[in-house]
Amino acid sequence: MAEGDEFFVKPDPSDESLTRCVQGIDQDGAAVTASVTMERPLTLYLNAQEVVTMMTIGDYPEYLAVGYLFNQNMVVSRDEITAVDFDPEIDTVVVRTENSTDFEDKLKKKTLTSGCAQGTMFGDLMESFDAVQLASGAVLRTSWLRSLSKKINTAPSLYLEAGAIHGGVLCREDRPLVYMEDVGRHNAVDKIAGYMCLNNMTGDDKIFYTTGRLTSEMVIKCVQMGIPILVSRSGFTAWGVDLARQAGLTLIGRCKGKRFLALAGNERVIFDGDGAAHDGQGAGGQ
């Protein structure tokens, strides 16, 4: 598929493995049938070392596994990966590298000493965060925001079908390219990171759109992926804003209709068309 086409990957609400019908009653006591989102455990191994068990809806386990390792800085490039094996019978995915990594030793230490390696791993992640240089020439046109919001919010999705789910969308200009959903917003982000890694896709000219809050975790993951612009229809945390400013990431929140709030990287925003800046609700409005 050509880079200019929309939705390389998008949700499939017709997939019967992702939802289940449950009987109940409504506010009037009438019998109803509700569609609810499934969640199931997925255990991730890096070579022979167990890393984590994640709760997920179960689609795209290979992307989720690779993206998790990439965003935790346990794997730093596609070239390190020799195989990704998923076994649906035991809900396990194994990412294999040609050589063992130093993170496997840290994970063993964490297991043996009840978590003392977690701070070390976070420190390694922050060292990588500080070293990332985001594309300085990237821009965000306000007309793209309005177009993306419409395309994403009207696309068929599990959110519209059953709710209880977060979405993440990788975009280029006003085109949504990869749309992933999961019960945790971090899982949706990691699936996109895995897609990018396994398809050798860079983040320099991309925009990341999330349905979730703009937390420190979201900012760190976006910077790890090399994406210079992060957008949400939800709000911010203070640390998320601080980290975005530190990294030079453009952070756009409360994005609904013509309104939005930019709290970091404002220099990338270009007002065009009949955007919020022209109706008294500019980038500083709330």
What CATH number does the domain containing 244 carry?
3.40.140.10
Asked, for residue 6, whether it belongs to a domain, the answer is no
Asked, for residue 32, whether it belongs to a domain, the answer is no
State whether 149 and 44 are in the same domain: no
Task: State residue 160's pLDDT score.
Answer: 83
State whether 71 and 109 are in the same domain: yes
DSSP string, 250-278: EEEEEEETTEEEEEE-GGGEE--TT-GGG
State whether 181 and 255 are in the same domain: yes
Asked, for residue 110, whether it belongs to a domain, the answer is yes
State whether 246 and 155 are in the same domain: yes
- As a whole number of Å, the end-to-end CA separation of the chain is 39
Task: State residue 113's pLDDT score.
Answer: 38
Task: State residue 116's pLDDT score.
Answer: 39
Asked, for residue 24, whether it belongs to a domain, the answer is no
Task: State residue 124's pLDDT score.
Answer: 66
Asked, for residue 7, whether it belongs to a domain, the answer is no
Separation CA 221–CA 80 (nearest Å): 19
Of the candidates 11, 68, 256, 17, the residue with the CA atom closest to the CA atom of residue 148: 256
Looking at 97, 131, 165, the residue that finishes a domain is: 131
State whether 269 and 149 are in the same domain: yes
Encoding tokens for residue 75?
Answer: 């794997």
State whether 219 and 176 are in the same domain: yes
CA Rg value for the chain: 20
Task: State residue 110's pLDDT score.
Answer: 53
Specify burial of residue 191 (Cβ count, 10 A radius: 0-12, 13-18, 19+). buried
Phi/psi for 131 (5° steps) reads -85, -15
Asked, for residue 102, whether it belongs to a domain, the answer is yes
94 Cβ contact list (under 8 Å, min separation 6): 44, 45, 46, 47, 83, 84, 85, 86, 87
Domain residue limits at 74: 40-131
CA 32 to chain centre: 33
Report yes or no: 70 and 224 within 8 Å, Cβ to Cβ: yes
State whether 187 and 66 are in the same domain: no
Angle at 1 between CA 59 and CA 166, to 5 degrees: 30
pTM to 2 decimal places: 0.85
State whether 72 and 169 are in the same domain: no
State whether 108 and 190 are in the same domain: no
Report yes or no: 241 and 111 within 8 Å, Cβ to Cβ: no
Question: One-letter amino acid identity for 20?
Answer: R
Task: State residue 283's pLDDT score.
Answer: 35
Looking at 83, 100, 131, the residue that finishes a domain is: 131
Angle at 218 between CA 239 and CA 253, to 5 degrees: 75
Separate counts of helices (H) and strands (E) for the chain: 8, 14
State whether 269 and 151 are in the same domain: yes
Q: How many domains does the chain have?
A: 2
Asked, for residue 14, whether it belongs to a domain, the answer is no
pLDDT averaged over consecutive 10-residue blocks of the chain (286 residues)?
65 92 95 94 94 94 96 86 96 92 64 40 68 92 94 89 89 96 93 96 97 93 96 96 96 94 97 56 33
Looking at 86, 106, 131, the residue that finishes a domain is: 131
State whether 159 and 117 are in the same domain: no
State whether 111 and 170 are in the same domain: no
Asked, for residue 160, whether it belongs to a domain, the answer is yes
Task: State residue 109's pLDDT score.
Answer: 52
Among all chains, which residue has been given the structure tokens 């109706």? 279
76: domain CATH number? Answer: 3.10.20.10
